[in-house]
Structure 1
Amino acid sequence: MDLEALFSICNAAVVPGWLLLAFAPRWRWTQRATTATAAALALVYLIQIVPTFGQGAGGFGSLQGTAQLFARPQVLLVGWIHYLVFDLFTGSWEVRDAARLGIPHWTVVPCLALTLLFGPIGLLAYLVLRAALRRRLDIDEAAAVETPAPPREAPSPRSR
């Protein structure tokens, strides 16, 4: 398969997962679908990286070496698949973590968009949101625990 077609297929493969994360986060198949997509793309990554590993010029020791390495289309495709897999996995974790912590999903959706478009910025936005809301949630929970419930009135003899 030519690299351009594989690039298009991989890009299209992640779209359903991102849509599910944004619009159907609690559907029982959402996490399974995103995990399966990430795993399938990881397999494509493996198949594509094996024949290129250690061949050609460049490396990760310098910016120039990295540019030289990614000048090869197959290595560039492998790098792109790397981003697709880890961004989708990160978005999936954000949704799971937010649900576990009781963070409203509508507040996570902008973080998902940022994670899809700008990876680390989306993760940072989610972590900031998480810290801010957890602090607020912790304060709300602490206030609820510290505020004693009003005493119940004893039942009147007539209500027995």
Structure 2
Amino acid sequence: MNWELIFTVTNSWALLMWLILALAPRRDIVMKGLFYGGVGLLSLAYAVIIIPLMTGMIDGGGGTPDFSTLAGVQQALGNEGGATIGWIHYLAFDLFVGMWVANNADKYGFARWLQVPVLFFVLMLGPFGLTLYLLLRFTRHNRVADAVVPE
């Protein structure tokens, strides 16, 4: 398989989806397009590749990974196929979280200029960006539970 091509295409596609999320109006059709065309397609790419990769049906995998040890995770991600599929996993989940942050921030009235830096951190550092948003959201609530429970 051409792992470099798969990496480049999925990475570029995810970046386009993030730009749309950050800059486009958040109309229903735009958000549905991001969900199905962004998260959905990245998840589909992951699903189509992961089983053949893990079973050795396609080159680039290391067999069934052992995710219970650090050495097993290193082995699973330590080749072109493993690194690419791992990256697609990050891309799909981070975009999903970014969409939740954007929807929730709109719901609670946060201006776009405040959302964009938070979305950047969700894109680049995943859980750190989510933590930033949850702390920001806390400023609109009286109780910690209200600030962290997803709605």
Other structure's SS at 2:52 match:
coil
User: What amino acid sits opposite 1:38 in the alignment?
Assistant: V
Is the CA contact (8 Å cut-off) linking 1:57 and 1:68 kept in structure 2?
no
Is the CA contact (8 Å cut-off) linking 1:103 and 1:133 kept in structure 2?
no
Name 1:88's counterpart in structure 2.
Answer: 95
The match for 2:86 among 76, 79, 82 is: 79
What is the CA deviation profile of residues 36-93 of structure 1, one whole-angstrom value per residue up to 9, with x for unaligned ones? 2110111110111011235526411111111011112212211100000011111111
Is the CA contact (8 Å cut-off) linking 2:65 and 2:73 kept in structure 1?
yes
Is the CA contact (8 Å cut-off) linking 1:91 and 1:112 kept in structure 2?
yes
After the TM superposition, list the runs of 4 or more consecutive aligned residues in structure 1 that deviate by more than 6 angstroms: none
- 1:128 matched to 2:129? The reply is no
Tell me the distance in 2 between the aligned counterparts of 1:134 and 1:109.
21
- 1:38 matched to 2:35? The reply is no
Is the CA contact (8 Å cut-off) linking 1:45 and 1:81 kept in structure 2?
yes
Is the CA contact (8 Å cut-off) linking 2:21 and 2:99 kept in structure 1?
yes
Q: Which runs of 5+ in 1 are unaligned?
A: 136-160
Map 1:117-156 onto structure 2 (within 5 A): 117-135=124-142
Tell me the distance in 2 between the aligned counterparts of 1:27 and 1:111.
20
What is the percentage of aligned positions where both structures have the same residue?
Answer: 36
Name 1:107's counterpart in structure 2.
Answer: 114
Corresponding pairs, count? 136
Which stretch shifts more, 19-28 or 32-41?
Answer: 19-28
Cα RMSD (Å): 1.9
Is the CA contact (8 Å cut-off) linking 2:54 and 2:65 kept in structure 1?
no
Which stretch shifts more, 59-68 or 5-14?
Answer: 59-68
- 1:7 matched to 2:10? The reply is no
Q: Which runs of 5+ in 2 are unaligned?
A: 57-62, 143-151
Which stretch shifts more, 32-41 or 19-28?
Answer: 19-28
Tell me the distance in 1 between the aligned counterparts of 2:31 and 2:64.
39
**Closer, same or farther: CA 25–111 of 1 in aligned 2, 3 Å:** farther
The match for 2:68 among 56, 61, 71 is: 61
Other structure's SS at 1:81 match:
helix
Is the CA contact (8 Å cut-off) linking 2:14 and 2:38 kept in structure 1?
yes
